Structure 1
Amino acid sequence: MAPLLLPLPLPLGTLPCARSVSRPTVPRPCLPLPFTKRQRLPAVRCPAEPGPAAPPAAPPAPRWHAALSAAAGLYPAYVTAGAAVAVTRPDAFGWFVDMAPGSYTATLGFIMLAMGLTLQLRDFAALLRDRPLAILFGCAAQYTIMPAFGAIVSRALGLPSSLSVGLILLGCCPGGTASNVVTLVAKGDVPLSIVMTVCSTLAAVLLTPLLTKILAGAYIPVDAVQLSLSTLQVVVAPILLGSSIQTAFPSVVQFVTPFAPLMAVLASSLLACSVFSENFVRLRTTISDASSVNGSFVSGDIGLVMLSVFLLHFAGFFVGYATAAIGGFKEKQRRAISIEVGMQNSSLGVVLATAHFSSPLVALPPALSAVIMNMMGSTLGLVWQYIRPSGSENETTDMPNA
């Protein structure tokens, strides 16, 4: 029989092997009593750390500065009014045309001098150092887009051979100085526009005859020495003089600078309308003679020529801006490249056409371009004047990620 197991009384004290474990007392959170309103402590504000002092705000520009800027923005109105006068009364610009070519050279020099007063030499140094790609891109666009579209438009519209040669010749010309004025109005990159004009003009010694020969089948020699000297006299020297005057006499230039854009716009309008009026009488006589002899050129064809010139410059503005945008350039460079590509040296086209072709109709597209191009470019500049370029004002890189 198994033994019975009886429960023995155990002591209630601590066992010898047990260890006393002391637990820290955790304070219980103070919970708000029900039906009592919580008291909010006043917010404690740290004293602001002293930072760099903000630069003093520039004083507002006088009202007459805004009036001068608005007057310079009326570039399309000046060109349109001058063209209307040139058509109705061509002798109104006779006093200026009679002094040509000296008057033309002096006016172009004055335009570039006014541009130089608004710029500094360090702007051009920074352009050559930091943005050489923009210069190369713009010059390449100048001599690819316009010559190609000159041939495309002339074939698409079925222009006669003389007018086709004139349109292609216009497309193969370098950029004109009027593009610099329009870029200033459009708030584009003015140093880039000026350097592109200089580079494309110097390159015209080789590229204008070569491209005209390839696309139009006619070789047009260009006097390299004369064109280079004209570029130095009309573009480079006045800009360097204006920049030097700005450095030597800053107080005088500060007063004169607000007038510079308006003076450049008025001088450019006078030059464009004078070139148009100079050729209008001669072309009108030629057109009437051609239509009366063989009827090969009727008065209705003048509208076709105007359409071809319009399409050529429109392609230059649009495709020039689109390619610059695809290339990743910033807004100010896009505007400069677009205007520089779209605006040609139509005066050079008229001179080359009259000097190397027997048919005066070859000079008709460049002569009409003197007005149509300036009207289109100045209108585009006026639109861009009221659209502020995106990004910083001081853009120093070619590409956004550079």
Structure 2
Amino acid sequence: MTMCTTLGAVLLTPLLTKFLAGTYVPVDAVKLSISTLQVVVAPILLGSYMQSKFPAAVKVMTPFAPLFAVLASVFLACSVFSENVVCLKSSMVGALLTSYQSPIMRIRSLLLGELGVVILAVLLLHSAGFFVGYLSAALCGFKERQRRAISIEVGMQNSSLGVVLATTHFASSMVALPAAMSAVIMNIMGSSLGFFWRYIDPSNSETSPEAVEKLE
């Protein structure tokens, strides 16, 4: 699934960006495709080469790969946050330090500001991904383990790719802010969901034929 979505990003990312954002800002789909090839296909080819030539070294490094991926996403997000620190501070300080507002109204002002809209959009994006992935797998007749795997796969996507493409092909650093926010929130949501499912036995959610016969 990861390979399919990663390779699909090479074609779909430029097309969707051109379709969704091209109306408002000029988007060079060809250059975007080339960058996507460099960021997506090149690491896949390098990883395949390393796997075939140095399997022992890859086996040693594999347990640390998830942690490395999360740290890389966080560092990329931090670089975007640092570029937009003035805007983020003004959005937060302006909402939280208003003297005549109650704490609830300050939080409400923060959530209704630019930063709040970005956070809400990212939360809805990944929540919808987790839910739709699980629901579609259930409707297609997959078992509980497969439903969870598909849910995680759909809900968590390559936000780091979005950060790289946004910083490369758009002049404003603010364009990369949603992707950077997504990189952080996505890891928190995915880890929390995995932690939750870890303590729920998938077999308890599946009804075997023997159990159905006993119930009848």
Q: Tell me if both proteins adopt one fold, taking TM over 0.5 as the criterion.
A: yes
1:336 deviates by 0.8
Deviation at 1:273, TM superposition (A): 0.6
Give the drift of 1:312.
Answer: 0.7
Structure 1 window deviating more from structure 2 (341-350 vs 379-388): it is: 341-350
SS in 2 for 1:311: helix
- Contact 1:198–1:236 (CA<8 Å) still a contact in 2? yes
Q: How far apart are the structure 1 equivalents of 2:167 and 2:43? A: 24
Q: Give, in whole Å, the separation in 1 of the partners of 2:110 and 2:171.
A: 19
Note the C-alpha offset of 1:344.
7.7
Counterparts of 1:302 and 1:366 in 2: how far apart (Å)? 20
8 A Cα contact 1:245 1:253, kept in partner: yes
- Give the paired residue count: 177
What is the DSSP-based 3-state SS (H/G/I as helix, E as strand, rest coil) of the residue aligned with 2:20?
A: helix
Inter-partner Cα distance in structure 1 for 2:175 and 2:171:
12
Q: Which runs of 5+ in 2 are unaligned?
A: 96-108, 139-146, 204-216
1:334 shift after superposition? 1.4
Letter in 2 for 1:262: L
The separation in 2 between residues aligned to 1:351 and 1:254, in whole angstroms, is 33
| Partner SS for 1:222 | coil
Deviation at 1:366, TM superposition (A): 3.9
Going from structure 1 to structure 2, the CA distance change for 1:344 and 1:307 (only over 3 Å counts) comes to farther
**Structure 2: how far apart are the matches of 1:331 and 1:271?**
28
- The alignment's C-alpha RMSD in Å is 3.3
Give the distance between the partners of 1:240 and 1:230, measured in 2 at CA.
15
Larger RCO (alpha carbons 8 Å, 6+ apart):
1
Per the alignment, residue 80 of structure 2 pairs with: 275
Q: Percent identity?
A: 35
CA separation of 1:229 and 1:342: change in aligned 2, threshold 3 A: closer
Letter in 2 for 1:226: K
Q: Which residue of 2 aligns with 1:299?
A: 94
Equivalent position of 2:70 in the other structure = 265
Q: Distance in 1 between matches of 2:83 and 2:88?
A: 11
Considering fraction of residues, name the structure with more helix. Answer: 2
Moved more, 195-204 or 326-335: 195-204
Aligned residue among 133, 143, 146 for 1:324: 133
Q: TM-score, normalization: structure 2? A: 0.65
Task: Specify the SS of the correspondent of 1:331.
Answer: helix
Displacement of 1:332 in angstroms is 0.3
Name stretches of at least 5 consecutive residues in structure 1 with no aligned partner: 1-191, 289-297, 356-362, 392-402
- SS of equivalent residue, structure 1 residue 220: coil
Aligned residue among 157, 162, 165 for 1:348:
165
Q: Say which one has the larger Rg.
A: 1
